[in-house]
Structure 1
């Protein structure tokens, strides 16, 4: 997933939401299927994951895309279709749609990149799922911490807001 993309490429922050906010992404095997979907997408249409958090009912991410293929929509469509095709008949999952139609997304300029990174990593804490960002299993926070992007004991964006 971490293919090389030019720093001049487009950076986008996004949120994919499950249909009806059903928490099917709480199942580890569903998260694994989602990871497989994004790996396959990245082979065909390169992208760099700067940050990601998979919550029970949503995926928050920060991508950098190449200048010659800056449209993120086909990537999301392909990943959502892959998950739906492979998961729709699993017991306990909602009938019909797995994903809410569309994707909420925003372009991120270099000055706002850090704010977007922090927002994504703080989301499990904001939603009351864990007390600290390192406590959330499906997050790139620990990778970013190890890379020196966060100090030990980081208390959230602007003091935890």
Structure 2
């Protein structure tokens, strides 16, 4: 079994990439309301601050800050993924292993986590989150992608509406509540 090592920093800020099992699907944007509801429900029970978030058709990137003394992002992701899957009708293809384990075939089992180290690291990751729809060719301009906290950043005067990358923002500017717009 692989040895996955996670960094657990109570009250830390983390960047995540979470992907669908089938990367050619568009389930996350088609079912954005179900995803939003799963996030809201988990946030009520296990609070966290959404610093930045973008939902793409087959994966998402986000940055969270956990409450002081709390490093348990794993439970939050487990529950978000579980609640989202339970809200969907069954019908996806299942491997023999997933059938045997009584698992659904929606999410990739693992996710990528990076602990934000400092202000520059945060700024770079926030920019990366917001630039991602352009990077993947979904839109020509960041402002055209609807499923992103970019719009909140524009409303708060952090980004210009025509922003295209390379801003430098502070943690205080980046933080604030959002529900994936």
Which structure features the higher share of helix residues?
A: 1
The answer to whether the Cα contact below 8 Å between 2:143 and 2:161 also exists between their aligned partners in 1 is no
- Tell me how far apart the structure 1 counterparts of residues 161 and 27 of structure 2 sit (CA, whole Å): 32
Q: Over aligned residues, Cα RMSD in angstroms?
A: 1.7
Following TM superposition, the consecutive aligned residue runs of length 4 or more in structure 1 with deviations greater than 2 angstroms are: 93-96
TM-score, length basis structure 1:
0.85
Shift of 1:34: 0.6
Structure 1 unmatched ranges of 5 or more: 1-7
Structure 1 residue 119 corresponds to structure 2 residue 128: yes
Relative to structure 1, is the Cα distance of residues 94 and 146 closer, same or farther in structure 2, using a 3 angstrom cutoff?
A: farther
Q: Which of 4, 15, 18 is the aligned partner of 1:16?
A: 18
Larger Rg: 2
Secondary structure of 2:109 counterpart: coil
Name the count of aligned residue pairs. Answer: 147
The answer to whether the Cα contact below 8 Å between 1:45 and 1:69 also exists between their aligned partners in 2 is no
The answer to whether the Cα contact below 8 Å between 2:19 and 2:58 also exists between their aligned partners in 1 is yes
Q: Which of 131, 139, 142 is the aligned partner of 1:130?
A: 139
TM-score, length basis structure 2:
0.76
